[in-house]
């Protein structure tokens, strides 16, 4: 089969690799129908994730059709069309029983981390993939759901909702600021509306992305390149700051921005993947009664979000800006790697 193979920092190839096979009784083999590219894949290709071995097939998002099932699989059948969760869950360990699938104790290769696709085992940017713990880690695709809608449920939509909105404890009437209008930030903008905030303020340096944020439910936008960006945000509140500040970039400056914007008694929810440490002005923040949260997505809300997308309550297909075939995988990477030049959010690879 063909797959996108990591060949070392800065190197990748769309090339022939052996087909996956059933290894455990709870496995299934899925023929991939659609996949996409995540910022995490770009981090791996830069060499930022040294645990990833040369030769690893990348990718952790996708939709496909079950072609083979392990002896222990009873609730899935050959021919089922399924969405693959980016986090694998054994369903039995203490963390899984609490719904904290991101820290499943049983995944192969790295006990304590549920994200293994394209990291510890071969991933989804391939013609076929082996799915461990399949009955707990895939979701049937509802009749009529498109690939463009379903692909967002693997990772991006649950990440924005769980780590941004839920961890940030958005309540009805809150003013929410989302810093960063990339795919994850826009997922937080979109799903924050489920909790009835009075305002959702999108903050970014890119005016084109800010304009797009309006389509995803932002009530207001602020360009953080403006010297008066903080005053603009405070003017949209009662002057005390936002109730919830969601950081969705992953650089020290935007994390600090979130702590500056939040009001006393508010919440800072960090979604961004940070490659280096940030300064925390604890001497100033302790007296403000602020909660700071962060985490790796659990995908424990995937089933609920799936229903909302299926009923068109969340227009997930708006995220897909570019489409490619599998034999255009390298071109898709080029577009996604230079997203600003192409106006790209998510690429759908059929």
pLDDT in tens, the chain (350 residues): 999 999 999 999 999 999 999 999 999 999 999 999 999 999 899 988 889 999 999 999 999 999 999 999 999 999 999 999 999 999 999 999 999 999 999 876 566 789 999 999 999 999 999 999 999 999 999 999 999 999 999 999 999 999 999 999 999 999 999 999 999 999 999 999 999 999 999 999 999 999 999 999 999 999 999 999 999 999 999 999 999 999 999 999 999 999 999 999 999 999 998 888 999 999 999 999 999 999 999 999 999 999 999 999 999 999 999 999 999 999 999 999 999 999 999 999 99
pLDDT, residue 300, reads: 96
pLDDT, residue 275, reads: 81
Do 51 and 83 have their domain in common?
yes
Query: Which residue range(s) make up the domain with 254?
Result: 157-294
Do 129 and 101 have their domain in common?
yes
Alpha-carbon distance 316 to 187, whole Å? Answer: 9
Do 9 and 128 have their domain in common?
yes
Residue 290 makes CB contacts below 8 A (sequence gap 6+) with 259, 262, 264, 265, 266, 267, 268
Q: Which of 274, 294, 314 is the last residue of a domain?
A: 294
Do 122 and 234 have their domain in common?
no
Number of domains, the chain: 2
Do 7 and 65 have their domain in common?
yes
pLDDT, residue 107, reads: 73
Do 267 and 331 have their domain in common?
no
Number of Cβ atoms within 10 Å of the Cβ of 238? 9
Question: How many Cα atoms sit within 13 Å of 153 on the Cβ side?
Answer: 30
Q: Which of 250, 277, 294 is the last residue of a domain?
A: 294
Q: Which residue has the tokens 């005016």?
A: 207
pLDDT, residue 111, reads: 65
Helices (H), 49-120: 94-97
pLDDT, residue 139, reads: 98
């Amino acid at each position: 089969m063909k797959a996108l193979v990591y060949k070392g920092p800065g190197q990748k190839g769309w090339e022939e690799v052996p087909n996956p096979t059933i290894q455990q009784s709870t496995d299934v083999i899925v023929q991939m129908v659609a996949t996409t590219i995540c910022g995490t894949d770009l981090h791996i290709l830069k060499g930022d994730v040294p645990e990833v071995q040369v030769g690893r097939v990348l990718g952790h998002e996708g939709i496909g059709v079950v072609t083979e099932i392990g002896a222990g699989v009873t609730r899935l059948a050959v021919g089922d069309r399924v969405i693959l969760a980016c986090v694998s869950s054994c369903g039995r360990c203490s963390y899984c029983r609490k719904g904290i699938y991101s820290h499943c104790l049983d995944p192969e290769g790295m006990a304590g981390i549920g994200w293994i696709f394209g990291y510890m085992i071969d991933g989804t940017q391939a013609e076929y993939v082996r799915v461990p713990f399949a009955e707990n880690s895939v979701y049937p695709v509802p009749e009529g759901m498109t690939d463009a809608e379903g692909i967002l449920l693997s990772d991006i939509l649950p990440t924005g909702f769980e780590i941004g909105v839920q961890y940030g404890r958005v309540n009805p009437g809150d003013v929410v600021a989302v810093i960063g209008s990339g795919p994850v930030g826009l997922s937080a903008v979109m799903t924050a509306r489920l909790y009835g905030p009075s305002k959702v303020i999108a903050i970014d340096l890119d005016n084109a992305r800010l304009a797009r944020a309006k389509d995803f439910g932002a009530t207001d936008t602020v360009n953080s390149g403006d010297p008066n960006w903080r005053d603009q945000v405070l003017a949209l509140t009662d002057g005390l700051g936002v109730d919830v500040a969601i950081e969705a970039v992953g650089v020290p400056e935007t994390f600090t921005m979130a702590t500056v914007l939040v009001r006393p008694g508010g919440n800072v929810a960090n979604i961004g993947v940070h490659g280096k440490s940030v300064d925390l002005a604890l001497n100033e923040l302790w007296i403000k009664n602020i909660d700071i949260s962060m985490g790796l997505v659990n995908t424990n809300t995937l089933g609920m979000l799936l229903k909302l997308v299926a009923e068109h309550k969340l227009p997930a297909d708006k995220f897909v800006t570019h489409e490619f075939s599998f034999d255009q995988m390298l071109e898709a990477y080029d577009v996604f790697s230079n997203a600003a030049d192409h106006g790209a959010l998510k690429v759908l690879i059929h």
